[in-house]
Amino acid sequence: MSAPLLAARGLDYRYPGGIVALRALDLSVERGRKLVILGANGSGKTTLLLHLNGTFRPARGAIWLDGQPVAYDRRSLVRWRCRVGLVLQEPDDQLFAATVEQDVSFGPLNLGLPEPVVRERVIEVLEALQITPLARRATHTLSFGQKKRVAIAGVLAMRPEILVLDEPTAGLDARGVTRLLDALQKLHEAGTTLVFSTHDVELAYAWADDIALFHEGAVRVQGEAAAVLRDREAMEQSRLRPPLLLEVADLLGAGQSGAPTPRSRESVVALLRRRLAGPASPVPAAVTVEHSRHR
Amino acid sequence: MRAIDHHAWSNRWSDRHPAEKLVPALGLLGVALVSPPLTTAPLVWVVAVFATVFGAGVPLRALLGMLAAPALFLLAGAPFLAVSLDFTEGFALRFSPEGAHLALAATLRALAAVSCLAFLALTTPVVDWAPLLRRIKVPAGVVELILLVYRLIFVFAERAVTGRRAQAARLGYSRFGHGLRSLALLAGGLFQRGLEQARRMEIGLTARSYTGELRVLRAEQPFSWGRLALGLLGVGLVGTTSGLLARALP
């Protein structure tokens, strides 16, 4: 097997004051996959993400890019950050320019691209994230959801190979989440490797190819999404409950016959409906079990 | 300030090249300053208001609201120009005709001048001044700082407002003493958050390859000589009219 695109090996990190944030952490980001870093609040997810683009330097261990440990000198850092784009959780921490267009142009200009190219890129990214009408708007007049998309646009305009997002859905309403995930899906189809952190198990199940389960500063398990979420022991240890959709799908016997486990709400509902309509189904019993679990 | 900013971004002329607004406005200001105020100033004032309200489409209320503060200030100050203190026979406060004339002239001229500046402030977003500042050789660092501060004012204003609301909801301003203490806590908290914000913003910027220079694209604002000429023509008309009026009315 070839080396992962981006990897963390044996990371240790302490915050000033001695608080241990990461402890012997291992993580692999495979090319072209959607990886979710799943963990409770305060488990160290953000600290890990800040290592992935070289903002923080581990006390021990290293970050590997294309099978090579990365150095922390200025030139390596610049090259590293061109390939790994990081979007912070709070858009106001990232948007510094007075207008949307200007803010998005910042990254590509730093890459040393000529102005006409930058202008093209700005137009292109704004279009991809469906925020073209905002181009000339003042940053401070945007809603939270709009700011969030502008922050992502500012990083995307640099065309990173890997896009790392810290809690991208936090604070967005259902429609905002859907639009964001649609945009990310398009990026994924265009070949961008995606990493994002969340504590939302339902979201992780709906979206991820792979999941890294995070607990107390280390990745407990990493693997194919459904497999990780079915690992009861690890999930309990991380103080997370398995997603309802997966539980229902499993109760309905999905995925046992080798077919892929349904991921979306619609497909699980359709499965449930088929079972309820079909003859001699084991559904009543399953529903009762589900019921009592939540009482 | 938020109202000014809002109108500067949303008026009909906000996309126009700043020079097309700056040059006529300064021209009008010049006319108001050099011509005899009693005839010129009202004319300048009317033209500036007209341009702001009917040209750029800024609501009259917003303009009057902005002019209210300097107008009050002028009205409060003018009476002192109209009276004179006389110390020859002890102490007497005397109304003087020249003083009154001077007061009227100063008030009218100042109002006219302020309305020209209000036109500029209400029609041109702060950001548009940056290229102009660069052109007159203001150091790049200073221009960057101006724009960054402009952006952060709104971030902090929002935090200050929500912080104050949260304090008020817990009766932080129910008594004068409580109010003072809450305000001090709020200010201290904002200062700390400012430092944290700076640190996080640096992380955000370095993630986009920040190397110490905040370079961004300039907005494309096509400059039109025609519109500038039109503006200057208006200024010329005001100047001639006021000259003719001054000659006609002794």
Radius of gyration of chain A (CA): 21
Domain boundary among A204, A226, A242: A242
Mean pLDDT across chain B: 87
- pLDDT, residue B85, reads 74
Query: Which residues have CB under 8 Å from B144's CB, separation 6+?
Result: B213, B214
Q: Could you identify the residue written with the tokens 């079972």? A: A275
**Distance from C-alpha of B141 to C-alpha of B211, rounded to nearest angstrom:** 13
Q: How many domains does chain A have?
A: 2
The answer to whether B133 contacts chain A (CB < 8 Å) is no
Q: How does residue B35 score in pLDDT terms, banded at 50, 70 and 90?
A: confident
Measured between beta carbons, the chain B residues lying within 8 angstroms of A111 are 209
- Cβ atoms of B94 and B43 closer than 8 Å: no
Give the containing element (helix H, strand E) for B242: helix B225-248
Please tell me whether residues A257 and A234 are part of one structural domain: no
Cα angle B85, B87, B93; round to 5: 30
DSSP string, chain A: -PPPSEEEEEEEEE-TTS-EEEEEEEEEE-TT-EEEEE--TTSSHHHHHHHHTTSS--SEEEEEETTEEPP-SHHHHHHHHHHEEEE-SSGGGT--SSBHHHHHHHHHHHTT--HHHHHHHHHHHHHHTT-GGGTTSBGGGS-HHHHHHHHHHHHHTT--SEEEEESTTTT--HHHHHHHHHHHHHHHHTT-EEEEEES-HHHHHHH-SEEEEEETTEEEEEEEHHHHHH-HHHHHHTT-PPPHHHHHHHHTTTTTTSSPPP-SHHHHHHHHHHHHHSTT-SHHHHHHHHHHHH-
Please tell me whether residues A131 and A49 are part of one structural domain: yes
**Could you tell me if residue A96 is inside a domain?**
yes
Among B5, B159, B217, most A C-beta atoms within 10 A, so best to mutate, is: B217
Please tell me whether residues A128 and A267 are part of one structural domain: no
Backbone angles phi, psi at B48, to 5 degrees: -65, -45
Please tell me whether residues A175 and A160 are part of one structural domain: yes
Backbone angles phi, psi at A211, to 5 degrees: -130, 135
Which of B169 and B117 is assigned the larger pLDDT? B117
Taking CA–CA distances from B195, the nearest residue in chain A reads: A93
Measured between beta carbons, the chain A residues lying within 8 angstroms of B156 are none
Measured between beta carbons, the chain B residues lying within 8 angstroms of A105 are 216-217
Please tell me the distance in Å from A79's CA to the nearest CA on chain B: 9
B125, B155, B216 member nearest A92 (Cβ): B155
Domain CATH code at residue A234? 3.40.50.300
Domain boundaries, chain B: 2-124+223-248, 139-206
Q: Under an 8 Å CB criterion, which residues of A touch B?
A: 50, 53, 55, 78, 81-82, 85-88, 90, 92-99, 101-103, 105-107, 109-111, 115, 118-119, 122, 136-141, 154-155, 158
Please tell me whether residues A199 and A141 are part of one structural domain: yes
Please tell me whether residues A223 and A289 are part of one structural domain: no
Residue whose C-alpha is closest to residue A82's, from A166, A195, A190, A158? A158
Domain boundary among A210, A226, A242: A242
The answer to whether B162 contacts chain A (CB < 8 Å) is no
Average pLDDT of the residues in B71-80: 87
- pLDDT, residue A293, reads 44
* Residues found in chain B: 250
* Residues found in chain A: 295
B6, B197, B217 member nearest A115 (Cβ): B217
Measured between beta carbons, the chain B residues lying within 8 angstroms of A96 are 148, 151, 201, 204-205, 214
DSSP string, A201-265: HHHHHHH-SEEEEEETTEEEEEEEHHHHHH-HHHHHHTT-PPPHHHHHHHHTTTTTTSSPPP-SH
CB contact under 8 A, A106 and B155: no
CB contact under 8 A, B200 and A93: yes
pLDDT in tens, B41-63: 889 999 999 999 999 999 999 99
Please tell me the distance in Å from A211's CA to the nearest CA on chain B: 24
- pLDDT, residue A200, reads 92
Residue whose C-alpha is closest to residue A150's, from A137, A164, A163? A137
**Could you tell me if residue A1 is inside a domain?**
no
**Could you tell me if residue A25 is inside a domain?**
yes
Please tell me whether residues A124 and A255 are part of one structural domain: no
Please tell me whether residues A275 and A175 are part of one structural domain: no
- pLDDT, residue B147, reads 87
A101, A107, A136 member nearest B209 (Cβ): A107
* C-alpha dihedral sign at B194, B195, B201, B205: positive
CB contact under 8 A, A106 and B207: no
Measured between beta carbons, the chain A residues lying within 8 angstroms of B214 are 96-97, 106
Residue ranges for chain A with pLDDT beneath 70: 1, 255-259, 279-295
Domain boundary among A219, A242, A265: A242
Please tell me whether residues A196 and A279 are part of one structural domain: no
pLDDT in tens, B220-237: 778 889 999 999 999 899
Taking CA–CA distances from A159, the nearest residue in chain B reads: B208
Among A93, A113, A147, A166, most B C-beta atoms within 10 A, so best to mutate, is: A93
Backbone angles phi, psi at A2, to 5 degrees: -75, 160
A88, A109, A137 member nearest B216 (Cβ): A109
- pLDDT, residue B250, reads 61
Distance of CA A179 to CAs A99, A169, A174, B143, Å? 22, 10, 9, 36
CB contact under 8 A, A102 and B155: no
Measured between beta carbons, the chain B residues lying within 8 angstroms of A166 are none
Q: Which domain holds residue A209?
A: 6-242
Measured between beta carbons, the chain B residues lying within 8 angstroms of A99 are 127, 219
Please tell me whether residues A170 and A273 are part of one structural domain: no
- Cβ atoms of A52 and A86 closer than 8 Å: yes
**Could you tell me if residue A76 is inside a domain?**
yes
Please tell me whether residues A216 and A293 are part of one structural domain: no
Query: What one-letter code names the amino acid at A67?
Result: G
Query: What one-letter code names the amino acid at A170?
Result: A
Among B16, B150, B205, B209, most A C-beta atoms within 10 A, so best to mutate, is: B209
Q: How does residue B214 score in pLDDT terms, banded at 50, 70 and 90?
A: confident
pLDDT in tens, B78-117: 888 888 777 777 777 777 888 888 888 889 999 999 999 9
Please tell me whether residues A223 and A253 are part of one structural domain: no
Q: How does residue B14 score in pLDDT terms, banded at 50, 70 and 90?
A: confident
- pLDDT, residue A259, reads 67
- pLDDT, residue B10, reads 86
CB contact under 8 A, A106 and B214: yes
Please tell me the distance in Å from A194's CA to the nearest CA on chain B: 16
